[in-house]
Amino acid sequence: MSSTYLHGANVQANGIRQHYLRYGGASSPTSDGAPRQALVLVPGITSPAITWGFVAEQLGQHFDTYVLDVRGRGLSSTGPELNYDTDTCADDIIEFIKALGLKDVILAGHSMGARFAIRAVTRGAKDVSKLVLIDPPVSGPGRREYPSKLPWYVDSIRDCSLGADIETMRGYCATWSDEQLMLRAEWLHTCFPPAIVQAFEEFHSVDIHQDLPAIAIPTLLMCAGKGGVIQEEDKQEIQRLLPSIRITHAPNAGHMIPWDDFDGFFEAFEDFLTR
């Protein structure tokens, strides 16, 4: 199978350089000439865009797919002069879509990226027609803590900043393939620790649940069966707050769903992505 990867590029949006990878393109392989629908994917807390390339390759077969480097990660703007709060990162998504002139967008986010996607929609993102939330943290003020601990992130970034090999990364991600571990070892050093710390702290200080009743577009919540992030009571609360939401499961996967069960990840979309 030929690659769907097109290029990496940068755009000035919300006052910073936003780097992204594009897969698939807008042209349709079908005879009707209709353009492919745009899909914008926002990765999680320590996942530069390139680490989602194996997923975007598949999505690129059907969608005009854009994978973002969230500020403070990958090749997007970074440094101590920037803000990394939830609202600012949500505005990055809004302005990215606007800067590229995308229409009828499927906005998908994993973990932290799902929280930013929720906030982007409720802060007025235009031209977003569907929302996909992939195992978002449901912690917040007075809520159960996020199951991962901050040192896991900070220590692994430190190791990669010094120069880590595949075996070092295996100590953090024991079930990942050698290829995935090598990619993480290569790119994790691009994650700016203060940005990671703030995002992790805001998992607990920002209550994203308050945004859910304001969502007025079709929304899918994909839950990892073995992740421990979203539990049954969380699903029930989310359903009460957003009765229209569809909830699906990747039963054999942990929080990093496509890494654990690639086929199960795509099966969990069911028919939600079809027009």
Q: Are 269 and 220 in contact (CB under 8 A)?
A: yes
pLDDT band at 19 (very low <50, low <70, confident <90, very high): very high
How many domains does the chain contain in total? 1
The confidence band for 32, taking pLDDT boundaries of 50, 70 and 90, is low
188 occurs within a structural domain? no
| Angstrom distance (rounded) from CA 32 to CA 107 | 25
163-190 average pLDDT score: 95
The overall average pLDDT reported for the chain is 96
| Position 1 confidence tier, pLDDT thresholds 50, 70, 90 | low
What mean pLDDT is predicted for residues 250-255?
96
Tens of pLDDT, residue by residue over 121-153, are 999 999 999 999 999 999 999 999 999 999 999
125: containing domain: 5-145+205-267
Q: Does residue 30 lie in a domain region? A: yes
Q: Is residue 41 part of a domain?
A: yes
Nearest CA to 125 out of 155, 157, 91, 154 is that of: 91
**Residue 181 is assigned to a structural domain of this protein:** no
Residue 237: C-alpha distances to residues 25, 136, 249 (Å)? 38, 14, 16
CATH of the domain at 129: 3.40.50.1820
Please check whether residue 54 lies inside any domain of the structure.
Answer: yes
Q: In this structure, is residue 150 part of a structural domain?
A: no
Instruction: Give the per-residue pLDDT at 28.
Output: 66
Pairing mode, if any, of strands 105-110 and 38-42? parallel
Average pLDDT over residues 16-44: 87
Does the residue 160 lie in any domain?
no
Q: Which of 195, 196, 185 is nearest to 162 (CA)?
A: 185
pLDDT at 27: 83
Q: Is residue 173 part of a domain?
A: no
Bridge partners of 8, per DSSP, are 21
- Give percent of the chain above pLDDT 70: 97
